[in-house]
A and B are shown apart, each in its own frame.
Chain A
């Protein structure tokens, strides 16, 4: 029945996912069993005792204490078992080991920001070492979000005004999907992040130099990746549609007026300034709502964005 579990659940990729899966599959089989059990009883009754004439007389059975006790007590034991099973898994997932690495997570409409112990910061991409316990200390800057990693079987709300925690030990190298699971408005379903589970060497390299792709990709492609993964796409369209911010279509080399009436030209310096100090020049007709990406983008990524904007025509 492994295919069935693999169809129902994503591949488990953290230490305590196994506990959850065992209980999950147990209840799946219990549900299937009782559905067919009840279904069979009903089908049998309907076939065997289908009304044949209006004069049929039925036995007057009001109750049967012994049977009623049996069908109350057995389910009681079953559900108590399920309670303890679920409780055990929850406790395990609750208390992080003392040696876990702490990463601070900040959620806002509609990006995830991660801050590592050494001060490195990333957006929407979280790098963690394989087989090491990681503790996320999470808070939100606006509404409630929820950090959900299906392959870890973990989820915890991220709430403004308080810290919540979530910990895991990743057991599978590779990339894991993160969703925002608490409805947070227009960009809710695009508030995605990825967890890169690295070998220790890969993780060290990441902290020193950033992602492999940041180092090796052609600038234009890197810019496109930044656009898609770091939240630019939530506000800036590529097809001329007006979003929260100006569309990037054909803006390279354009001149326009700022909110203060002063003219500006879209060149490399303007883009760099807009990324790092977005409030310096706000395009007329738009709200000054763009967050700064100071410390969030590496130098090469900013160059990539500039190259990418050049290419959006």
Chain B
């Protein structure tokens, strides 16, 4: 690690306390309005729930080692997979990049002192914790066995803590909206002097598109969940046919939020990758505007395709055709992005640091995740594959694989900025390889399971499916060992002294122009933009890089 023991970036850290230590004490963290501290608290929360959701995932995979009971009963299994899904979606994947990395990095990338509404930002964290606490309390009330989609009339008639779980998701929605509002205002109002919309780092475009969906779609989920609570508590008869309701209406409402929410999960991943690839290729991003506009296009198109989750639910032929048709258009901006990222690497100066390794993993995994979406967008193949393990695998590729691996890329990218310390790079490379291999070993067999007919959410299954399940379970252990390794060396790095240079990667965005870790107010004075975010023409070796790379 000798290469990191160099001078402080611009020498200011000696005179001003960094945001981690100034002010000190637990109370100062719990009442902070500093976006960086709020980002870190989100990050630790997301790590914690990722661990919980991950343990549930391993339990699910162990249960599926054998066709009949392995370690738990059917009721238990149904609760475990529901909690796995609900925790991962609502407490991990949705907040991971925007609330943790976005909060930390967005104002720095814009050259701002903080987000537009710092107190609202703190409130969103407390709302998140409230929702999380409610979700965890349902465990004590007998758990929830509905699946994270809460389809009626199963969800309106089954016992357990469904009402509380649904209210928890409702509360978490507010956290998401607060963050979205904050980011939109921040991007509109707090860009550094000289930074036009097209001089913003692409991360900001990704956050902007995500925020648009958060504030437009989340209220629909909130209303839907409230209706479901009223159905359970007051029997108002919106969804349950025994009370005169329509169960398919719930699916329309639910997916009107939850399909755009898929893009709440994937756009932030694009945002991170668009930062990491230019920095580690030391080359300007290829097709800036194409990437920026395709994010916005995906955000808007995402509102028009929700019913592609319902091709087998008995919609009209015409509705099915329309939703299938529009869905295919999302393939285009997605393909454009992948080609842009590869073109950015072309003729670059590529350095395979941990963030870049995760970014390359992301490119490969997202290629599979994106292309397997074609099977589900096309009507006739979707009919066969819907509600099978093929779908399970597809959404793990786009949500778990793409989002969480991009999250790992972002964590490794900004870790030295967050804490002023570097992790063990050799272990980081091993961790990235284990995650990539483990992920594919877990989920590739599930594509085959699904197309051979294995339905999802099955506790027992036919013996012919066993060998693929065993392969998948072994994969899950490889994946878990990679994730535990990453957690271990990241935590270990925090025991070192803060000795990081301002710009360890030679990035050209503004966060690299302040200390690592930054001072409480981010910058000494107001930074003024001198060059574009990925412009490597002027000053090709920014501060600190010279000493860093050998």
Contacts and interface: CB of A to CB of B under 8 A. Distances in A.
Contacts of A20: 380-381, 383-384
Contacts of A53: 549
Given A19-B380, A68-B287, A79 B374 contact: yes
A217 interface: no
Interface in A146-162: 146, 148, 150-151, 153-157, 159-162
B78 A186 contact: yes
B345 A49 contact: yes
Nearest to A62: B284
A75 interface: yes
Contacts of B368: 31, 35
Given A46-B350, A90-B320, A184-B154, A59 B374 contact: no
Nearest to B244: A161
A90 B383 contact: yes
B283 A59 contact: yes
A188 B459 CA distance: 8
Interface stretch (B124-132, B207-215, B220-228, B445-453): B445-453
B321 interface: yes
Contacts of A60: 284, 535-537
A27 B394 CA distance: 14
A187 B546 CA distance: 64
Contacts of A190: 460
A59 B345 CA distance: 11
Contacts of A186: 74-75, 78, 145
B10 interface: no
B15 to A, nearest CB: 29
A53 B462 CA distance: 57
A62 B364 CA distance: 23
Nearest to B282: A58
B347 interface: yes
Interface in A125-143: 142-143
Nearest to B325: A83
B364 A42 contact: yes
B13 interface: no
Given A30-B371, A54-B541, A88-B380, A41 B342 contact: yes
A9 B342 CA distance: 33
Contacts of B548: 54
A202 interface: no
Given A63-B286, A68-B287, A27 B378 contact: yes
A30 B384 contact: no
A10 B382 CA distance: 16
A56 B283 CA distance: 10
Given A49-B347, A160-B241, A27 B247 contact: no
A181 interface: yes
Interface stretch (B178-186, B311-319, B407-415): B311-319
A75 B348 contact: no
A76 interface: yes
B549 A181 contact: no
A262 interface: no
Contacts of A98: none
B508 to A, nearest CB: 12
A15 B380 CA distance: 13
Interface string A183-204: 1111111100000000000000
A90 B283 contact: no
A157 B313 contact: yes
B261 to A, nearest CB: 19
Given A157-B313, A182-B151, A82 B378 contact: yes
Contact of A157 (B314, B338, B350): B314
A10 B74 CA distance: 27
A159 B338 CA distance: 40
Nearest to A59: B347
A71 B283 contact: no
A31 to B, nearest CB: 4
B437 interface: no
B349 A51 contact: yes
B130 to A, nearest CB: 28
Contacts of A51: 282, 349-351, 549
B364 A38 contact: yes
B281 interface: yes
A186 B146 CA distance: 10
A144 interface: yes
A38 B334 CA distance: 14
A86 interface: yes
A116 B350 CA distance: 68
A155 B288 contact: no
A231 B377 CA distance: 36
A72 B335 contact: yes
Interface string A260-303: 00000000000000000000000000000000000000000000
B48 interface: no
Contacts of A9: 451-452
B540 A39 contact: no
A148 B453 contact: yes
Interface string B371-409: 110110111111110111000000000000000000000
Contacts of B386: 155, 181
A23 B382 CA distance: 11
Nearest to A56: B349
A58 B347 CA distance: 7
A63 B311 CA distance: 39
B158 interface: yes
B149 to A, nearest CB: 8
B284 A72 contact: no
A1 interface: no
B268 interface: no
A82 B407 CA distance: 32
A177 interface: yes
B6 interface: no
Nearest to A16: B380
Contacts of A42: 342, 345, 360, 363-364
A30 B133 CA distance: 45
B382 A24 contact: no
A87 B324 contact: yes
A216 interface: no
A181 B541 CA distance: 57
A135 to B, nearest CB: 14
Contacts of A208: none
Given A144-B151, A148-B387, 17 more contacts: A24-B381, A27-B381, A34-B371, A35-B371, A38-B338, A58-B348, A63-B290, A64-B286, A86-B378, A86-B382, A87-B379, A143-B247, A144-B153, A155-B384, A155-B387, A162-B241, A189-B460
Interface of A: 7-10, 16, 19-20, 23-24, 27, 30-31, 34-35, 38-39, 41-42, 45-46, 49-64, 67-68, 71-72, 75-76, 79-80, 82-83, 85-91, 93-94, 142-144, 146, 148, 150-151, 153-157, 159-162, 164, 177, 179-190
Listed from nearest, the 3 A-B pairs whose CB atoms lie closest are A161-B241, A150-B453, A89-B380
26 contacts: A24-B375, A27-B378, A31-B372, A34-B371, A35-B368, A49-B346, A56-B282, A61-B284, A61-B347, A62-B284, A63-B288, A79-B328, A83-B324, A83-B328, A86-B324, A87-B380, A89-B381, A91-B317, A148-B387, A148-B388, A150-B384, A155-B312, A155-B386, A160-B153, A161-B241, A183-B146
